[in-house]
Structure 1
Amino acid sequence: MTGSIRFAALAVPLLAGVALFAGSPAYAQQTPAPADAPVLEPGLSTVATVAETPDSGTMKRADKDMLAVLKKLGELGAKPIESRSVAEARAQPTPADAVKAVLKDQGKDAMALMAAMKVSKKDMTYPTAGGTQPIRIYTPEGAGSGPLPVIVYYHGGGWVIADLDTYEASAMALAKKSGAIVASVEYRHAPENKFPAAHEDSFAAYKWVLANAGQFGGDPARLAVAGESAGGNLATNVAIMARDGNVQLPVHMLIVYPVAGTDMTTPSYIANQNAMPLSKSAMGWFVDKVLAKQEDAKSPMLNLTTLADLKGLPPATVITDSIDPLMSEGKMLAEKLKAAGVSTTYKNYEGVTHEFFGMGAVVSDAEAAEDMAGHELKEAFAKTPTK
């Protein structure tokens, strides 16, 4: 794999965070499969072995669009997250930076493309227990008169890294393709603010949007939640907290490759343990920064697939990708939602990796996923009368 990035070498030990997940018998680490044993993820056509290559076969399994982004990320100097300090991880190049660089190589201007989407933005703040946090309002031009539906969006980054700018492409794509206002939420990060600070902020932001949507042309009766990765976990938990707190439920949940469990022995964790840009060791790094105590690993908020009560939640769209340790738990979450009586649409995308959503400008599967998400949200809004 000369010239590619190795986001997690096989020799890298699991960090303290993984030990936290393995602290009770329920999450005990299992002995890995033999190096020559094939692993076939349920419902997937991609076969991988634990020791296929140092990157779990990422560069061979990625389609050409995704491969271009991954190669560019390596050229920009991104390092394995588990080898970085928090400050270094927050400062290093991101997949979003790689997308901009690919566009530049193609002779395209990323800023001009974003301007052509005709989505305006306005920065505001909302109150939390830890003070105030930013919330960015994206409004699609020409979406029609009258109050618009609103999507409360939560970005990813393992509750440790990334911000509103990192995930701006996702927020803008959702606004453009759904015809809705997107309120993109910032929240307190670990390790400065441990679990469940981000979850508390996320619910505070949801309630703030419910109370203040009229300030930016939004319709509080038609409110959805959406999130990627750690943000997918936040979006799901916000719906649970709304249900349990007798607060208006969102009309839909868009959940993209979510952190939905604490079991690091799932089929996708085994097959993709050294995948890039997200690996098993990287997830251990995040866990080590997020959890304040071992008991937190048993929280239903982190174990959506096994401990959370999912009954009575709004309809959901769950999107996963094959080259991702989190694929199995995302699929399991979709199955658990269906079993709980929640109307759920599930779609897995082959040949792409964690963080692909929002890369529609250069990755065809990302554009397809964004189109699907926009369609699902439009359908949900159309079924809900405005106030």
Structure 2
Amino acid sequence: MSLQKFIVRSLLKLPDSILVKMSGGKPLAIDGRILDARAQLLAVQGARQPSITTLDPVTARSATSAGLALLDDAPRASVEVREMKVPGPAGPLDARLYRPSGNTAPLPGLVFFHFGGCVIGDLDTCHVFCSMISEIANCAVLNVAYRLAPEHRFPAPVDDAVAAYRWAAANADELGMIAGRIGVGGDSAGGNLSAVVAQEARRKGFEPPALQLLIYPVTDWAAKGGSMESCGNVYPLTAEIMNWFAGHYLNGPADYADLRVSPMKEADLSGLAPAIVVTAGFDPLRDQGAQYAERLKAAGVSVSYRCEDSLPHAFTAMTGAIPAAKAACEKIARDVGSLLRGAV
């Protein structure tokens, strides 16, 4: 463990009362919710650093990776990880396959896409979380690194996500997955891509996922008001950063209306895969995730929804620093296991 990481972890073990005093003297409350004391300290410290909007995308990727490395837990030791390539529409995509150690039987599967606004992030971004899902849900997880903008703008990440899921569904035996029990999931931009894959399966007639796991998903890139305003300045995702992501990812104003960009704009959500939708209380994306869950329910889709009220965006990468984030991620993993095994 690096000295910087040791200092950060030690600091975050202080009592909540001390952490709050170090973070302005009173708990941060927005929309009737109170931010976790550890997340509040991180938010205060994060606000003192230059925003990634002041960086070029390549520098922003390395800076974000370094910051998240201070907060994430260690991957689960009981999970085997295999580096591999997945065929993509423009060439092979880097991927990792996670399986519980010693389990050679076919397992339910999940194809997972990381967060990062389709601009930042990589396989390491969700490495720990994917290992948690594999261990707790007792399933195989395929973590796929899709192409990033601005080098590869829309629709490249969508095309990669669709191709990766379709390849996994067609090659279940090779992955040790059970055909027909393969879900798709992701957080933030990864949640957006997962929702789009579920919709594209119905539109294009390929095998639908058994599950769509949507963690604080982007469902409407043009969303305004509500939590986009009330939580618009909360670390680590701000409204300004969302605009920065959009400026790099999208080709122009017309893209906001594309169903493969904003799945919320699909008028008919009936017949889609069962969904687990989890939002964060202190997140600009909170309301659009909740609204998408409600629209899925209204369309007759089986939906499990909850908001982790005390947590910020990107909590899936904070499991080593915030106990509430770790507990939330473990609960998500249990829900995935239950649904993929047909217990829900």
Q: Which residue of 1 aligns with 2:40?
A: 67
Q: Deviations over 1:152-197 (max 9, x none)?
A: 0011110011100122112111111111010001111111111011
Q: Which residue of 68, 74, 87 maps to 1:96?
A: 68
| Change over 3 Å in CA distance of 1:154–1:93 after alignment to 2 | closer
* Structure 1 residues 174 and 72: alpha-carbon distance in aligned structure 2, compared to 1, 3 A threshold: farther
Aligned partners of 2:53 and 2:244 also within 8 Å: yes
* Structure 2 counterpart SS, 1:305: helix
Cα drift, residue 129 of structure 1? 2.0
Q: Deviation at 1:73?
A: 5.5
Deviations 1:269-315 (A, max 9, x none): 11012111110110000000011122111112222223353211111
RMSD: 2.1
Contact kept, 8 Å, 2:231 with 2:238, in 1: the verdict is: yes
Q: Distance in 2 between matches of 1:87 and 1:248?
A: 36
Q: Which residue of 2 aligns with 1:81?
A: 52
Q: Measure, in 1, the Cα distance between the counterparts of 2:32 and 2:252.
A: 39
| Residues 263, 292 of structure 1: alpha-carbon distance in 2 compared, 3 angstrom cutoff | closer
Q: Of the candidates 45, 62, 86, which is equivalent to residue 32 of structure 2?
A: 45
Partner residue in 2 for 1:318: 277
1:378 matches 2:337: yes
1:260 is aligned, of 204, 215, 219, to: 219
What CA distance in whole angstroms lies between the structure 2 residues aligned with 1:366 and 1:296?
33
Report 1:1-387 matches (<5 A): 45-46=32-33, 61-70=34-43, 79-94=50-65, 95-100=67-72, 113-114=74-75, 116-142=76-102, 144-383=103-342
Percent identity between the two aligned chains: 32
Whole-Å Cα distance in 2 between the matches of residues 93 and 201 of structure 1?
23
Q: Secondary structure at the match of 2:332?
A: helix
Aligned 8 A contact 1:62 1:351 in 2:
yes
The unaligned stretches of length 5 or more in structure 2 are 1-28
Determine which structure has the larger helix proportion and give its number: 2
Between the two proteins, the alignment pairs up a number of residues equal to: 314
The amino acid across from 2:287 in the alignment is S
Give the deviation of 1:122 after TM superposition: 0.8
User: In structure 1, the residue corresponding to 2:130 is in which secondary structure?
Assistant: helix
Q: Which whole-Å CA distance do the structure 1 matches of 2:123 and 2:251 have between them?
A: 25
Q: Which TM-score applies when normalising by structure 1? A: 0.76
Q: Distance in 2 between matches of 1:311 and 1:260?
A: 16
Please tell me the residue identity of whatever aligns with 2:148: H
Cα gap change, 1:170 to 1:71, in 2 (>3 Å): farther
Cα distance in 1 between the residues matched to 2:186 and 2:258:
20
For the 8 Å contact 1:359–1:367, the answer to whether it is kept is: yes
1:51-83 CA distance string (max 9 Å, x none): xxxxxxxxxx53123235446767xx9531211
| Letter of the 2:248 counterpart | K
Give the whole-Å Cα distance in 2 for the aligned partners of 1:81 and 1:357: 19
Following TM superposition, by how much is the alpha carbon of 1:145 offset from its aligned partner in structure 2, in angstroms?
A: 4.9
Do the aligned residues in 1 keep the contact of 2:46 with 2:235 (CA within 8 Å)?
no
Once residues 140 and 78 of structure 1 are traced to their aligned partners in structure 2, the CA distance between those partners, rounded to angstroms, is: 39
